[in-house]
Structure formats: structure tokens, C-alpha cells
Amino acid sequence: MNNIVEYEVCILGFETTLELEIIQIEVFGDSNLVLRQIQGDWKTKDVKLRPYHAYLELLVGKFDDLRYTHLPRAQNQFVDA
């Protein structure tokens, strides 16, 4: 369930960014699993996550420059806010 929420948040962020016509971003995230799956480093094995992953791949293709930075949860001050 937690990974589904992580995917939904990522989707919402990408959709909002694209609505603002921003096509170059750096994504900071504390979910190493989701970041690695979006980058294609790891496969999405959980059947429940596959539709989210497929939609994110469509969104990712709309960006000219997209970079990812993993922040361990202990270093992610936005989670605590």
C-alpha cells in the first residue's frame, strides 16, 4: 500500500509539473524502490504497481531533462514538515 501511495504522489507531481509547462526537473525522493523502478534499474514485479509504472513511463517521456536524487528518509526534511 505504501508503494502505491509513493507512485500516486510521484504521478501527481509529474502531472502538476507538466501542467505548468516545466520540462526540466530534478526529482528528490526517499523511496529508493520507486526511483529505481522509474529509472528502469529495477523491474516492477508487484502486479498492483504495474499500471502506475506504465503511466509514469508515459509522463517521464514528456520531459526533456529529468534527473533523480535519492534522499534517505532520515535526510528528507520535507517528510517531517
Domain ranges in the chain? 2-10+25-80
Residues near 72 by beta carbon (within 8 Å), at least 6 away in sequence: 30
Place of cell 528502469: 40
Topology of domain 2-10+25-80 in CATH is Nucleotidyltransferase; domain 5 (3.30.420)
How does pLDDT run across 24-80, given as a tens digit for each residue?
999 888 888 888 888 888 899 899 999 999 999 999 999 999 998 888 766 666 555
Burial class from Cβ neighbours inside 10 Å (0-12, 13-18, 19+) for residue 73 reads exposed
Q: What is the pTM of this model?
A: 0.81
